[in-house]
Structure 1
Amino acid sequence: LATNLFLLQGMGVEDHLSWNAPSWSISAEFFAYLLFAAIVFTTGRRSWIWLVAAAVTAPLFLLAFSHRHMDVSFDFGFIRCLYGFSLGALLAWFQHDSIAEARQALAGDARARLAWTAAEMAMIAVIGVFVALAGDNDAGIAAPLVFALALYLFAHEGGWISAFLRTRPMLMLGALSYSIYMVHIFVQARMINVGGLVERKFGLHLLGDIVLRGDHAPGFGADLPGVGLAAILAMLVATIAVSWCTWRFVEMPALAWFRRLAKRI
């Protein structure tokens, strides 16, 4: 509990994922942000040099020391975070203005919209193939590079897929995304608990043994795919509902409090 309270669960202090498993990345991001602020404060316009250094050395470190390729969390999560964060920061550092100008140039150009839509569809296909082929080997360490390319492409907002992602429902999902990430494992675990109670109470066969990343775990629909599909849909609805509550009553008030505090400082 102490490591979670002090956001140390992604800094190599623990030898396992503890409490709310996804929060390891929040730990890693917190310290990455602190490091980034320190670098910018001390080196100013030369900060990009340190970002390049991190983007180059982090994947080499993972290649040398990670036994699980890119799937690191409690052990080398901070290194993984520095890798992706540095690439994103470099993209913003050098391409922010040019992307903004390109957005203006693309406005109202129907032919360009079709070309960008094709590029977006191709990028989605590339990501799908990459994840399928590189998810369990060292090639997966290139994931931040692939997603940096995707970020660069979609930041132009030139295609119809980007237009769809700017619709109100998608923007709402984007606003909820942090909460969704933080609560989805909790919601899933509670659904499995409820499923176990229902099984024992009514003699139904809902749960079974599934294999997740080589480990055995209880899950819905191990023998009945229909049950598994229904559980997935129920989990999606429940996760979004719970996420809205945490976003509305925890995340937004906390953001407002920090903004007021920042103004005083």
Structure 2
Amino acid sequence: MMKQRFTTLDIFRGILASFIVLFHMSFFSDTLVLNNPFMQGTDLFVDFFFILSGFIIRYNYSEIPNLQTLITFLKKRLLRIYPLHVILLLIYLFLELTKCFFSGSNLINNHFNTDNTITTFITNLFLLNSIPWSGITNVSWNNPSWSISAELLSYFLYAIVTYLILSNAKMRFKSAVYISIILLSFSILYRLTGSAIIVYTYNYGFLRGFIGFFTGVICLNTYSYLYRYFNKSSDYFFTYLEVSILIILGLTIPLKEKLADITVIYEALFFITILIFSFQKGFISHFLNKSRVLKNIGTYSYSIYLIHGLINTFFNVLFIRILRFAPSDYSYLFVLNYILVFYISRWTYTTIERRFYKPQTIYTL
């Protein structure tokens, strides 16, 4: 099987990152466009990202045969995610200090966010903010960064396990070890919380990340095994699979609250979705791959995901608090808000992300 770029999955990453942008816009809005059962379930797409990340990392780094490869892998991963994260963290620190200075202004409702403390700044700085710490009861600073913490910890665990245990192991043994990590992570989470809920962030987000990431690793192993059997299947067959899984997702995402006690089932649904679209053979895959805009959204998806909270907040202050638009006006303002997120993400991708890493010829996170 030749190395390839999973363009469709890249596009999916951008589309789902955009849904999370809209999900967080709904906190400010009062419109059926954003405040509906489907949109309220789209925060689950973070788990899709974890699975996709494990899929791609496994594809690009199936072996870590020596210490130098291990160090190179971790260095590349840090350079990929840390620069934008720390720059945004410093921006949030500046904003908190500015809010304190202008606390008497009528534009400042809460002059200090009680979740943004010295302790949480340190945990965010070192990307340890997906692990429970005494006194921390919520996400803080740049809220989406908890998932970047879980992602980084997953990289470390994958690299160490693959290097120390699996360098010379056969595929079956490797898969058994990765599955064991999934089961162990879920068992620990179940023991700590007493339920099959996995939607955790600042506290047990790292376990959520392990479950998703290593599910993605197994998804890649499954894809590699099935490739020889299904790669020559007709486009019509894959169109049927693609349409079917999207319909299932469309029906189940709005049921997040009803399925709250067993949200782990979404891991299976996202696993199947990524597996189907990794073949890139159905009508939907072909349609998505023709769109230059969607490809760009996929390219900028990390910036879109990480900066959108900051942009959404400024947008809300400007249009709702200063210009006095109504929350219901988000029925159309969301378009302008998203366009702003998109273009600023394009700038941060070019000036920050690309400054610290060089995209590979194959798909990388």
Normalised TM-score (structure 2): 0.58
- 2:253 maps to 131
Unpaired segments ≥5 residues, structure 2: 1-120, 361-365
Structure 1 residue matching 2:295: 3-state secondary structure: helix
- 1:37 maps to 159
Q: How far apart are 1:101 and its partner, in Å?
A: 6.7
Greater shift after overlay, 123-132 or 58-67? 58-67
Whether 2:223 is the aligned partner of 1:95: answer yes
Whether 2:209 is the aligned partner of 1:81: answer yes
Identity %: 22
Question: Which structure: greater helix fraction?
Answer: 1
Q: CA RMSD in A?
A: 2.2
Question: Which structure: greater strand fraction?
Answer: 1
Matching residue within 159, 177, 190 for 2:314: 190
- 2:285 maps to 162
Q: How far apart are 1:10 and its partner, in Å?
A: 1.1
- 2:149 maps to 27
- 1:50 maps to 177
Q: Distance in 1 between matches of 2:256 and 2:322?
A: 39
Q: How far apart are 1:64 and its partner, in Å?
A: 4.3
- 1:231 maps to 333
Structure 2 residue matching 1:10: 3-state secondary structure: coil
The letter of the residue matching 2:197 is H
- 1:11 maps to 131
| Greater relative contact order, per chain length (Cα 8 Å cut-off, separation 6+) | 2
Q: Taking structure 1 as reference, are residues 125 and 60 closer, same or farther at Cα in structure 2, changes over 3 Å only?
A: farther
The letter of the residue matching 2:132 is G
Whether 2:355 is the aligned partner of 1:253: answer yes
Matching residue within 113, 116, 125 for 2:238: 116
Q: Distance in 2 between matches of 1:99 and 1:89?
A: 15
Structure 2 residue matching 1:21: 3-state secondary structure: coil
Q: Taking structure 1 as reference, are residues 68 and 238 closer, same or farther at Cα in structure 2, changes over 3 Å only?
A: farther
Q: Distance in 2 between matches of 1:238 and 1:68?
A: 38
Q: How far apart are 1:51 and its partner, in Å?
A: 1.1
Q: Distance in 1 between matches of 2:279 and 2:228?
A: 7
Q: Is the 8 A contact 2:196 2:264 kept in 1?
A: no
Q: Is the 8 A contact 1:10 1:27 kept in 2?
A: yes
- 1:178 maps to 302
Q: Distance in 2 between matches of 1:173 and 1:68?
A: 33
Q: Is the 8 A contact 1:164 1:170 kept in 2?
A: no
Q: Is the 8 A contact 1:62 1:141 kept in 2?
A: no
Count of aligned pairs: 230
Q: Taking structure 1 as reference, are residues 197 and 95 closer, same or farther at Cα in structure 2, changes over 3 Å only?
A: closer
Greater shift after overlay, 230-239 or 41-50? 41-50
Normalised TM-score (structure 1): 0.79
